[in-house]
Amino acid sequence: MNRIVAFGNPLLDTIVLMKDNTLLKKYNLKSDGQKEIAQNEMKSLMEDIKSYGKTMSAGGCAQNTLKVIQWLLRKQFSTTIFGAVGDDNEGQMLQDILKRDGVETNYVRQVNYPTGVTVALVNGTNRSLVACLGAAEVLSLADLTSNPDIMRQAENADLIYMEGFFLTKRTEVAHFVLNYCNSHNKKFAFNLSGEYMCKEEPEILKYFTERSDIIFGNKKEFEALCSIMKQRNVKDLLIYLSKSGKIVAMTNGANPVVCVGDGGKSYDKVIVPAMKDTEIVDTTGAGDSFVAGFLVGHLLKRSLVNCCELGCYAAQEIIKRRGCVVPEHPPNVLL
């Protein structure tokens, strides 16, 4: 059985259906963007959405990826999420939801902080993601190294995955995990996660990009990464990264996925299957689900093209429903 250990922000998601952009204007949000806000702002936002239609689910990039992996493989992988939650009902709710999805949780409970939450403000096919990380950001190196279970799970993992958002305020922990993987010949997969991360943490992003084995991101994120890596354009950047032995997968909405590997010799453009607008319910979790499909293909030693195809399949299944919620029906792919 393959084992994946992931490091990320354990969050409780609230998906809100909007009819206009009133809330976006009030909180200075982009219609298809993502932003972290302070706890007082989140409290105000939660008051504003009381009258809106909404649903709740377990969220956070890494958690989304793990639960979609388990859906694709009918819970035949071993997947563990490591992170911090509050000692509250929301933290327990996350643990219970993920257990049903086949994801093991290894949470550090922070007594003085609330469990992190996100709000996805959805208007048609666009969604603005707002996060208040709370306890998720309060994680020390001691929390990791003194946890014998997570160290054992990391040692036995076939691959370790980290979302870019985990770098925020946990740089020491993130560096330890990356350096552990590099020194123990452990595969490390990394998601750029957000365009703003490239702007706010350029040196850290450069460090992780140079030392990761697999790198995920969308076109806007790789465009932002170009200046950090001193590359003229995205194509040059992807080839440059691949020549150092990395696998790089770049999504671009409904446009072809670009995947580069094999030391720069392989540069594939994979067509994303067409979808009707009426099939798209909510794009929340699309990127996380693509990563899930790709990693499943990678660990099953499939071609890079097939990895991308599995990623597209997973993403399109998830965006047919509200929130990053795994379907009740089994996956319609042969693995």
**H or E stretch including 78?**
strand 78-86
> Among residues 76, 160, 170, which one has the least CA distance to residue 116?
170
Q: Are 256 and 273 in contact (CB under 8 A)?
A: no
**Catalytic: 96?**
no
Query: Residue 247 pairs with which residues in a beta bridge?
Result: 214
Which among 13, 101, 282, 288 is annotated as catalytic? 288
CA-CA distance, 104 to 136, in Å (whole number)? 17
Q: Concatenated DSSP letters for 91-134?
A: HHHHHHHHHHTTEEEEEEEETTSPPEEEEEEEETTEEEEEEE-G
Q: Are 154 and 142 in contact (CB under 8 A)?
A: no
Whole-angstrom CA distances from 111 to 8, 105, 172, 312 are 19, 17, 21, 39
Query: Residue 78 pairs with which residues in a beta bridge?
Result: 3
What residues contact 183, with CB distance under 8 A and at least 6 apart?
A: none
- Which tokens is 329 given? 């029906």
**H or E stretch including 171?**
helix 171-183
Point out the residues that are catalytic.
288
